[in-house]
């Protein structure tokens, strides 16, 4: 089974990340990208929002979870959860990459870190997120802890 998860990210006035989380199964004939846009409320032609596949993980009870980041949050008026300290979950050894436990906060941290990499390396993502000054500032190396 494959689940599609979206993290709608925003930056609050104190330069802290907040998120909304949604999870769904794909509808018949729907791609994971389409499911992520549906969850995030983003149209394919939206020029001001980044929708990007950021990670996947296996959960014994759920199967494979494909995680997408949606930034900026297209509905910033809706309640969101403030992200705690951004800490990446890691495996114990080089040949055992899966961590023993992955909390949603770890997934959020990975998504923010991935956005920071895209901001530096992907001109399309950089162009979009640069139009959102608080997000661009928060994704600078000092603003996006590893």
| pLDDT band of 146, cuts 50, 70, 90 | very low
The answer to the question of residue 90 being in a domain is no
Lowest mean pLDDT segment, chosen from 17-21, 72-76, 99-103: 99-103
With the CA atoms of 64, 124, 82 and 87 taken in that order, what torsion angle do they form, in degrees rounded to the nearest 10?
Answer: 60
The answer to the question of residue 115 being in a domain is yes
Q: Is 105 helix (H, G, I), strand (E, B) or coil?
A: helix
Domain count, the chain: 1
The answer to the question of residue 91 being in a domain is no
H helices of 41-103, in order, are none
> What 8-state DSSP symbol labels residue 94?
T
The answer to the question of residue 145 being in a domain is no
Whether the bond into 72 is cis, omega within 30 of 0: yes
The answer to the question of residue 82 being in a domain is no
| Average pLDDT for 60-89 | 89
pLDDT of residue 22: 97
The answer to the question of residue 84 being in a domain is no
The answer to the question of residue 125 being in a domain is yes
Backbone angles phi, psi at 98, to 5 degrees: -80, 125
Give pLDDT tens digits for 110-134. Answer: 999 999 999 999 999 999 999 999 9
pLDDT of residue 91: 65
Does the structure show a pLDDT above 50 at 45?
A: yes
Q: Provide the domain limits for residue 43.
A: 2-75+99-138
| pLDDT band of 15, cuts 50, 70, 90 | confident
pLDDT of residue 143: 44
The answer to the question of residue 14 being in a domain is yes
């Amino acid at each position: 089974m494959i689940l599609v998860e979206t993290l709608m990210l925003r930056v609050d006035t104190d330069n802290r990340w907040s998120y909304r989380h949604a999870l769904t199964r794909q509808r018949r004939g729907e791609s994971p990208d389409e499911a992520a846009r549906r969850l995030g409320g983003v149209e394919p032609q939206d020029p001001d929002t980044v929708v990007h596949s950021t990670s996947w993980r296996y959960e014994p009870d759920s199967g494979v979870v494909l995680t997408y980041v949606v930034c900026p949050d297209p509905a910033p008026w809706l309640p969101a959860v403030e992200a705690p300290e951004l800490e990446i979950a890691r495996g114990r050894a080089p040949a055992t990459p899966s961590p023993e436990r992955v909390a949603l906060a770890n997934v959020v941290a990975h998504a923010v870190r991935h956005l920071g990499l895209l901001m530096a390396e992907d001109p399309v993502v950089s162009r979009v997120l640069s139009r959102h000054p608080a997000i661009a500032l928060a994704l600078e190396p000092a603003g996006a802890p590893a």
